[in-house]
Amino acid sequence: MSRIGKKPVDLPSGVTASVSGQTIEVKGPKGVRTFKATDDVNINVADNSVLVTPRGGSKRARQQWGTSRTQIANLVIGVTEGFKKELEINGVGYRAQMKGNVLKLALGLSHDVNFEVPEGVTVTAPKPTIIIVEGIDQQAVGEVAANIRKWRKPEPYKGKGIKYKDEYIFRKEGKKK
């Protein structure tokens, strides 16, 4: 039995969910999100909660049970609170600024990096060394943050580069004379 799958997903006030076939649509104050579940699970909406149950006792049905419930819970969180990733830039001369829908990054390369922000994700740079990525889709927010970080990953000797705010960089000792 899935401990996660057994829990119902509570719908806060202002959030509605509707099921058609295997597709669930969740509407909230921040927008609308949908999820298409596999045929291995049943989705039921009843009195401000969504309940996911497996169809049969096969291994795949039990796997999809908890996964589908978590995906639906993430839809609810996305349309109510949204998701947020914060990035920090460390290094002399490294900075970021927004110009319209383009994030301009100066990362010690021979040229500035122009990063196009995709639809559905909001990127802000309140300070030249902080980048905030926000949106209602957890996967899109994480992917945009990872693509920004990919331009200059933090290195272990001086810690220069782009890192997540809560990320720990394992520091190495340099050469000794």
Cβ contact 48:26 at 8 Å: no
Size of the chain, expressed as the number of residues it contains: 177
Q: 126 and 70 share a domain?
A: no
Alpha helices in the chain (DSSP H): 3-6, 59-80, 138-149
Q: What is the pLDDT of residues 73-103, one digit of tens each?
A: 999 999 999 999 999 999 999 999 999 999 9
- pTM for the model stands at 0.87
Residue 115 lies in a domain: yes
Rounded mean pLDDT of 52-66?
90
Could you say which of 36, 62, 80 is where a domain stops?
80
- How many H-runs (helices) and E-runs (strands) does the chain carry? 3, 13
Cβ contact 125:98 at 8 Å: yes
Residue 174 lies in a domain: no
Q: 10 and 73 share a domain?
A: yes
Query: Which CATH number do you get for residue 16?
Result: 3.90.930.12
The per-residue pLDDT for 1 is 67
**Amino acid present at 54:** P
Cβ contact 172:160 at 8 Å: no
Cβ contact 84:132 at 8 Å: yes
Q: 25 and 87 share a domain?
A: no
Structural domain boundaries enclosing 98: 83-164
Q: 47 and 110 share a domain?
A: no
Rounded mean pLDDT of 45-67?
90
Could you say which of 37, 56, 80 is where a domain stops?
80
Q: Is the pLDDT of residue 48 over 80?
A: yes
Q: 75 and 13 share a domain?
A: yes
Q: Is the pLDDT of residue 35 over 70?
A: yes
- Indicate the SS3 state at residue 135: strand
